[in-house]
A and B are shown apart, each in its own frame.
Chain A
Amino acid sequence: MPIYRSHILICGGTGCTSSGAGEVTEAFKKAITEKGLADEVLVVPTGCHGMCEMGPIVVVYPEGTFYCRVQKTDVAELVEEHIYKGRPVQRLMYSAGEDVPVIPHYKEIPFYGKQHRIALKNCGYINPDNIDEYIVRGGYEALGKALLSMKPEQVIDEVKASGLRGRGGGGFSTGLKWSFCASAKGDKKYVICNADEGDPGAFMDRSLLEGDPHSIIEGMSLGAFAMGADEGYIYCRAEYPLAIQRLKTAMAQAEEYGLLGENIMDSGFSFTLHVKEGAGAFVCGEETALMASIEGRRGMPRPRPPFPANSGLWGCPTNINNVETWANVPQIISHGGAWYASLGTEKSKGTKVFALTGKVKHTGLVEVPMGITLREIIFEIGGGILDDKKFKAVQIGGPSGGCLTEEHLDTPVSYESLTALGAIMGSGGLVVMDETTCMVDVAKFFLEFTQKESCGKCVPCREGTKHMLLLLEKITEGKGTMEDLDTLEGLANMVKEMSLCGLGQTAPNPVLTTLRYFRDEYEAHIRDHKCPAGACAALLEYRIIPELCKKCGICAKNCPVKCIPGDRNTGYRIDTDRCIRCGTCFEKCPFGAIEKK
C-alpha cells in the first residue's frame, strides 16, 4: 500500500450521513485533488465514532485532531489551513460549552477518555468497505490462529475463560452455550447472528454492522469452527439498509480472500454465510421466533426446551448470539480469555457498549468496562443533563427494562446489580430523563410499544398488557383512582409470571419500577389531577401571566381553536374550557408569558 503523510477519517455512519457527511467527503476529495495533495493525503470513509449528535465527525491523523459538525462549506478552510499549512482549525474543534476552551485531540475528550473499546475497536478507524484495513489492524489473525493451531474444544475453552456473556439481553454464558451446541448430536449445525436490534433507543448493533462488519463475520466463523457448524445466517432488520449493504460487501471480500466459503485457509474447514432481512416485528428478536422467521413462518416464540442448541433452525442444532457478542470473539481468541476476564466485575466480565440517549448532553455509543457507575457514564462521559436541568431517572434495557433514580447512580453496572434493582442490562440502551419527563407517561409509552408488539400467542401478554395500558391512559387523563394502582400492580405481576417468552415476562418492568420508585407521581395524577412534570396534556392548564404579557397577540393568532379572546388594548386571556392544550401558544409567545401547570 502507498504511504500517506496524513489520513482524513470521515464518519460515514447513518447519523453523520444524515447530517451531510457524504457531501463533506466529496468536498474533501475535490479539495485535496485541487491542491495536488492526492498522493500525500488519503480520505477514508469510516463507520460510526459514537458521537453521532456532533456529526459529521472528521478526524485528521497522525495528529488525531477531532472536528465536529463539519459542513461542506468548512472543507476549503480545513484543507488550506490544517492540511496545507499545518495549522489546525480551532473553530471546528470540540468544546464542552460556549465559553469552555476547545479540546483538539480525540483521546482527551471526556466522552472518549473513559471508554475502553474492544467490540468497537475498529469502529471509526477503518473503512468498513475495505477488508485490507481490517486485516492491517489484526483482523482474521484469530481465525488463522484457531484454524491452524487450535482444536475446536480449545476455542470454546478460551471463550469460557473470558467470562463473556450474551450481549443480546439474557446474559447467558457464551462459552457454556457453545459447548451445548458442540456436544449436540447432528451432522448439520447452524450459527446465527441476531441483528434484529429491536429495542428502541439502542443502536450499538447497527454501528458495529456498519462500522466493522468483518469482526462479526470472523467471530461467527470462529464459532462455527468451534461448534462444528458449516452454515450461518445473519438476521438483520430491514430498517438498516446500510448495514445490510456493508455486510454483503464484506462477505464478498472475505470470500475473495479465501477467508469465507470452502476450505478456509486450506484448513479443511468450510463455512457459508447468508444475510436474511427481517420483516419488522419486535418479537422476532426472540431466538425461537427469529428462527421461525428464517424458515419463512410467522415469527412467534415457542416454548423451550428443546433449546436451539439441540433443535434449532430446521430442527438442527443451532447457536444464536447477538452482534456485539460475536464481535468480541476474535479479540478473545487473539489475546486470550484471561485478558478479557481481567476487565469487569466478578461475574460480569469485559466491556459493554451502551447507547446513551435522551436528555443528556452528549448522546452516543460508549463502550465501558463492566462495573463502572451510571454516574460516570451519564455525567462524565455524557457530560450531564441537557440544558443543565435536573436529572430524574435513567431507563435501562429498553421496553423490558426499568427506570432507576438518583439514588442508584453510584451502583456499579453489572448484570446482577441491575437485575437486583428491577431493571435489566438488556441490549444496553440508556435513556436519560430530566425533570420535564413524566414517569407515568414513560410507563405508558413502553406499554404501548409492548402491547403493539405482543405476538398474541399468550392470553396474559396479549390481554394483560392491553388492560394495563387502558389503566395508564385513564391515569394520565386524570381519571384514575387509587384502586387502579393496585389493579395495575396485580396485572403487572400476573403478566410477568404467566407469559411464555421474554417479551411478556418483562413488559411489566417499566410499570413496576416506576410504581416502586415514583409512586408519588402516579398519586399526583390521581389525587391532585396534576402532572408534576408538565407532560400529560390532559392535565395541563395554560394561562397567560399578565405581568409578562406585552399584548402582542401572537398567541391569539396562532391558537388553532381561537380560544384566546382579547385585543391589543385590553390584553389576552385563555378560555380554559375551550382550550385543547396543544401548547402552540406556549411555544409561540416571544416573551415567555404563558405558563403551563
Chain B
Amino acid sequence: MAFSAEEVREKTRKIVDPWRNGKGGLIPILQAVQEQLGYLPMEALETISRDLKIPSSEIYGVATFYAQFHLKPRGRHVVRVCRGTACHVRGSLKILDSVKEITGVEENQTTEDLRFTIEPVACLGACGLAPVMMIDTRTFGRLTPDMVKGILDKFE
C-alpha cells in the first residue's frame, strides 16, 4: 500500500473537502486519512494545513498529542497488548514479552516485513478476560504466554 506524494495529496483533498466550512474537522480528517493511507504522511499534513488554513505546527501538535495517530507506516496487523491494571495483576507483562520475542521487535515498533506493529495499550475494556490482547479488531482473552504464537500465526 504505497502511495505517491501526488496520490496522497489527492486523497487528502477529497477527505478535507466536506469540512472546508465546518468546524471541529481536524481530528476526524486525520482519522479518515490514517484509515485510508495507514498512517499520516507529511504530504497529507501539508495539504490539510493549506486547505483548511490551519498552521502546520498546530496540525503536527494535534497529530503527536493523541496516541492514535502515526507519522510512520505501520504493519498490516496491529497487536495491542493490554497493560491495564486488571491485566497487569494477571500477568500481562509476560504476554507482552512473548509477543516481543516472537516478532523480534520492541514496543511501538513495526516488523521489517510490515506484518506486525506492537502497541501496549492502557485497557481494552475486556478486563474480565484478563490478560487480553487485540489484533486489529479481534479480541483474545484469558491468555497464557504459550498461546501467543498460535494466535499470531493466524495473521499473515
Contact = CB atoms under 8 A, between A and B. Distances in A.
Among A199, A300, A357, chain B packs the most CB atoms within 10 A around the CB of: A357
Interface string A418-441: 000000000001010100010000
Main secondary structure, interface of B, reads: mixed
B25 A14 contact: no
A193 interface: no
B15 interface: no
A106 interface: no
B147 interface: no
Interface string B118-156: 000111111111101010011111100000000000000
Contacts of B123: 198-203
Given A296-B25, A358-B86, A359-B89, A19 B122 contact: no
B62 interface: yes
Interface in A180-234: 197-203, 206
B65 A299 contact: yes
Contacts of A357: 85-86, 127-128, 130
Interface centre among A18, A199, A314, A437 (most CB of B within 10 A): A18
A263 B134 CA distance: 42
Given A18-B141, A241-B137, A279 B66 contact: yes
B26 interface: yes
A364 B129 CA distance: 9
A117 B125 CA distance: 20
Nearest to A296: B26
B67 A281 contact: yes
Given A202-B127, A280-B66, A299-B66, A429 B85 contact: yes
Interface residues of A, number: 58
A433 B65 CA distance: 33
Contacts of A437: 89
Contacts of A355: 86, 127-128
B75 to A, nearest CB: 17
Contacts of B129: 15, 18-19, 52-53, 55, 363
Nearest to A51: B128
A94 to B, nearest CB: 15
Interface in A382-441: 395, 398-399, 429, 431, 433, 437
A469 to B, nearest CB: 15
A240 B66 CA distance: 16
B90 interface: yes
B27 interface: yes
A256 B9 CA distance: 38
Interface residues of B, number: 44
B11 interface: no
B90 A358 contact: yes
B31 A197 contact: no
A15 B128 contact: yes
A447 to B, nearest CB: 12
A346 interface: no
A429 B23 CA distance: 36
B85 A363 contact: no
Contacts of B76: none
A240 B121 CA distance: 13
Interface in A1-25: 14-15, 17-19
Given A15-B128, A357-B130, A446-B85, A200 B141 contact: no
A15 B141 contact: yes
Interface in B36-71: 58, 61-62, 65-69
Nearest to A233: B24
B89 A358 contact: yes
A201 B86 contact: yes
A51 B138 CA distance: 19
Contact of B125 (A197, A296, A300, A395): A197
A445 B88 contact: yes
A294 B25 CA distance: 9
A293 interface: yes
B125 A206 contact: yes
Contacts of A239: 80, 121, 124-125, 134
16 contacts: A18-B129, A18-B138, A51-B128, A55-B129, A198-B123, A200-B127, A277-B31, A278-B68, A279-B27, A297-B58, A297-B62, A355-B128, A363-B130, A395-B85, A429-B127, A431-B86
